[in-house]
Each structure stands twice: as C-alpha cells, then as structure tokens.
A = this chain, B = another copy of it.
Amino acid sequence: MTLFARNQWYVVAYAAEVGEELLGRTVLGEPVVLYRSEQDGRVVALADRCVHRRFPLSESRREGDTIVCGYHGFRYDRGGACLSVPGQSRVPRTARVAAYPVVEQDSLVWIWVGDPAAADTSWVPRAPHLVDPAMTTVCGMEPIEADYGLLVDNLLDLSHETYLHGGYIGTPEVAATPITTEVDEEAGVVRVSRHMSDAECPPFYARSTGIEGRITRLQDIEYFAPCLYLLHSRISPAGRQEPVFRTEITYAITPSAPGKVYDFWAVSRDFALGDEEVTAFLRDFNHTVVIQDVNALNLLQRALDSEPTAYQELSINIDTGALAARRILARLAGAGADRDRVA
C-alpha cells in the first residue's frame, strides 16, 4: 500500500456538497463530519466520533450551528467544544472533538488532518479554472476500493486511454506517442506531456467541439502531489492554428483509508459555454470514463490482494511520470521508495 502523507491539504468535498445536512467522509483514515455554518457560511469539519462512546456524529442531528450526538445527546459547537451533556450541568473539560483546518477555494473544500501547527493555508493548491466564468465545468466524485497509488499511476500514464477508454477518449495515437516528463522533486510536481499533431478525434471531443476529421491534440499533465492533478488539454483541427478548444480536466485524489480512495473529477471547457446539450453529454460521457477507471482499479486491487507479498512489476518509458510520483509520495510520507525499477 502507498503510505499516506499526512501533513498535506486534501480535497474532502465539493463546496456545493456541504450545506445544512451533516456529511460524513473519511480522509487518511480519519472520520470527518462536515457542515456549513448558518452564522457565517463557513465550512465546519470535526472529528466524526462523539467523545463519549465514539458514536458517529455524521449519523446525528444538527441544531443550528451545533451537532447533537444521535446516541446520548452530547452537543458540540463549530470548534468541537462540547456545550452540554445529559444528566448533569457540568461539562467535563476534556469533552471536545478535533476541529480540522479547512479552506474553501475554487469550488473545493480542502482539509488538513495532519499536525495542525503545520497547516499553512497559503499552501493550498489552486484550480481557478473550476470557477472561471469563461469556462463551464461538470464534475462528480466516485469512491474506489483501491490503494490511492493505483489512481495516481492511472492518471500519470494516459496511454491507458487507448485501451481502457477506447471509443470514449482514447485513440491509437495516445498509446503510440512518446511522452516527455519533467519532475520538480523539491516542489513535489510531476509534469508529463504528450503532443499528437495528427490524431483521430475521439467521440469525447468530436461531439463536444463539432470538429470533423483529424486533430492536433496536446495533453499536458501537472500533478501537484499528493492530491491535485490537472490535465491541460488543447484540441484543434489538424494542420490549423485555430480554433483551439481548451479543456481543463481536474482530479483530486484523496486517500480515504488503506485501500480506499475518493476520485473527484471535473471537466472544464472554454467552448459551447451555454450549451446544455454539450454539458449533459460531457457529464455523462466523463462519468462513464471514470466508471471504467473505477471498475479497472477495483479489479486490479483485488488481483493485487491475492499476490504474494513481493510481486514484480515491469516499468517502461510511459511509467516515468508515475514512478516519479511514487518517489515524491514516499518522500512526503516520510519513507524511502525502493520498489520501482525501469526495465
């Protein structure tokens, strides 16, 4: 299993998911309950276990800006302090649950479950295109029963589009075209580029842009380890400078627990902005693509679970980005990476 890097910001929810209702999520094995304050509209994130008998607060009731535990009624404020307990007026001094730092930005809610003293809100990665009025965005989230490292592998090597997503976003040129990889080890950023100058146009782009015939297709990945993944995609008719159709594909990769990961995905486009039909098409189509990944990674994890402990992999050029990502993740988790080799 890929180790967890604790002192990092992770996406815990879309801002639009957090409102009146209590929302339960688990990040790096920490159960979290989320809601939006009536008073100031801010997102509150507390440890999702009552201090009394560990009942999940997310299965409880909200009253105003407090949570009342659904089992015995311990009441907590936005900071996690317990305000009242049943059967006595004195509230024990130690009666509080952790409140996690959160940042709401770019339509995402980021959380820090590591050492609170190290939480620096200026480090939160940016994805401003998600709220850019010059773009239209569709998005969703799928939980996967797999090590989050398998999703990082998946996204950093897009040659799988040709095989796993053939007929959707993959064409023969994706797998056939070599990549260039740049790694900023210190910043923890991996960049992988694949430029196809004369490629088949997959249905994903043909139906959304209206292009007929072959295309120039540029895929430029930026992975800000551990959580944020951006794929800058530019499409234009082959041999022409314009029009250029720009799509920003965003993933947030949030380890939920060992062997479980949240796959947040969004597709932002700078074309067909008011077009509901294109919006519905891209939402459905990309959801299908994500489900293809979900099914493949669920299957792969089950296959790996039955492997003897030190199973072998064989890495090639296309894996350069993913291997760099693994090294960075191991460093961020405070451990060395020694399982990768390129054949």
Pick the contact of A303: B55, B159, B343 (CB < 8 A): B55
A69 at interface by CB-CB < 8 Å: yes
Chain B residues positioned under 8 Å from A86 (CB to CB): 159, 162, 175-176, 316, 318
A160 at the interface (CB under 8 A from B): yes
Question: Do A164 and B70 have beta carbons less than 8 Å apart?
Answer: yes
Query: Are B343 and A72 in touch, CB under 8 angstroms?
Result: no
The reply to whether B52 and A313 contact each other, CB–CB distance below 8 Å, is: yes
A59 to chain B minimum Cβ distance, whole angstroms, is 6
> Does A73 have its Cβ within 8 Å of any Cβ on chain B?
yes
Residues of B within 8 A of A316 (CB): 52, 85-88, 92
Closest B residue to A60 by beta carbon equals B163
Copies of this chain, tallied across the complex: 3
* Alpha-carbon distance A228/B270, docked complex (angstroms): 66
Asked whether, in the complex, the Cβ of B306 is within 8 Å of the Cβ of A257, the reply is yes
State whether the Cβ of A123 lies closer than 8 Å to any Cβ in chain B.
no
Among B29, B56, B60, B317, the residue within 8 A (CB) of A87 is: B317
Chain B's closest residue to A73 (CB) is: B163
Q: Is A19 an interface residue (CB 8 A)?
A: no
Picked from B60, B92, B299, the residue with its CB within 8 Å of the CB of A56 is: B299
Contact digits for A57-98, partner B, Cβ 8 Å, 1 yes 0 no: 001110000001111110000000000011110001111000
